[in-house]
Amino acid sequence: MQSSSQNAAVELSHHGLEPSGSVHWNLRWEDLHSFAVDLGEAKLTSDGVLLAVTGERTGRSPNDRFIVDEKGMAEEVWWGEVNRPTAPAVFERLLLKVQDHLNSADNIFVKDAFCGADPHHRMPVRLVTEKAWHAAFMHNMFVRATEEEINVHQPEYTILHAPELKSSMSDGVNSDVFVIIALDRKMVIIGGTHYAGEIKKAIFTIMNHILPSKGLLPMHCSANTDGDNSALFFGLSGTGKTTLSADPDRALVGDDEHGWSENGVFNFEGGCYAKLIRLSQEDEPAIYATTKIPGSILENVILNADGTPDFDNDSLTQNTRGSYPIEFIENRTPDSMAGNPRNIVFLACDAFGVLPPLSRLNPDQAAYHFMSGYTAKVAGTEIGVTEPQATFSTCFGAPFMPRHPSVYADLLSTKIQENDAQCWLINTGWIAGGADASSRIKISWTRTLLNAALNGDLDNVVFVKDERFGFEVPTTCEGVPDSILQPRETWEDKTRFDNVANLLAQMFIENFEQYASGCSKKVRDSGPKQI
């Protein structure tokens, strides 16, 4: 295995580190995977793909994530349940513990990379970790630096990653896990958790804070393009974001995090971090293929006796994951960039059966729905859920948005108007009485409506205004029954529809109250009303 002893640009002493063990600088993924296996961190599937198990923490730990509350960049943070403050003294104490822990480790792995595919807006980042497989994850998930770039790489932000180090309540945190972002000190410290997603989400949180001050919009969304017509897809888990953005006629820009500059959209990432639970070759062939390619990493997946993954086994977690370089997806843009989007798509899985399969939004309505980030949980999908439950996630990515939601919404509205983009709200859930009375809208109908919107086939179609929600709904679309386009007409009991629709409208209204003071009157007035 190859191992470099030094980096010519920025030494570890810059981060307060003086390791006593071996330091491995910017190893190839092959060497990192070999280290991970030899050190007992992970094992290989029958296809030679690395498999790691994260232990107790199999997902993010939102209650253990903090931003240091100090003068400077943190003054622009929108504090609350998502963005939790911690004192500089807490950070300093835990920073010393992390530094001491890494200094005493037998092996340290350093990985330098970039966040952002656009060379004009990318941010150089560094991970210093005690685990080879986490360095391999960094290699997959961020934009890989060339050998020439490595030699002069100067990280703007650095993550000191100590998954084996546990904290305690006496440290001023909530548990034995901590993820603390110090914006002005250009540093993140992570301890007590092996879940790899904390690494990428910490960096994205920083990008989501920095970019708006430069006039760029950071977005938790997928993106694709046909070369001339780029589209963005916003949606929470289960709304169809991954499925609908994967189109054989459109190249994938990225599946999770993007920026929107004056020149167009660019992927933050150099890879994908896909959910694998119930993955099938038939339904998602491109993602399935990556699970057999050495270089990919599987997380918390159970292996069969023959060493093949059992994607239906959720005994460790429902949140099984696969990390792979975006180059493993054949139908993609070569530079993970695309032009200014002509279409913005918000996806909602509406279990109440109220929202139309497709509706058109004006820029102010787009800002309202962007800030709302609506979908609905379906009865039976989670323990304790016995009827549809509305879920709102700010900007479709609340856990990673440090600023007030209006900052991102205003930027989105500006971008939409500057580029004359069309905005669409698509319901991938139910109509005809809702989830307890009908089947989910056919994916073929959703795909037909989406393609019609993206291709301009609805430009000459008559739209009617929905008096309750304010958006416009098409009266017809070739390939889709006209009868489904107006949800009220699909309900046998029209009075019950009106009652349920008013209930959902009120949920929107009550949720938006938390944002109202920071929004323009035009945006506030763009939401639904009871009728």
Longest dimension (CA), the chain: 73
Active site residues: 60, 201, 220, 237, 241-242, 256, 321
Is 153 buried (19+), middle (13-18) or exposed (0-12) by CB count in 10 A? buried
Give the Cα separation of 372 and 176 in Å (integer).
33
Residue 274 CB partners (closer than 8 Å, separation 6+) = 242, 255, 287, 290, 321, 322, 324
Beta bridge partners of 233: 222, 345
- DSSP string for residues in 44-89: E-TTS-EEE--TT--S--GGGEEEE--SSGGGG---SSSSEEE-HH
Strands (E), 378-528: 389-392, 422-427, 463-465, 472-474
> Which residue carries 């035009």 as its tokens?
522
Long-range contacts (CB closer than 8 Å, 24 or more residues apart) made by 503-510: 503/352, 504/350, 504/352, 504/354, 504/355, 504/390, 504/528, 505/468, 505/469, 505/529, 505/530, 506/530, 507/390, 507/392, 508/372, 508/374
Give the Cα separation of 381 and 325 in Å (integer).
31
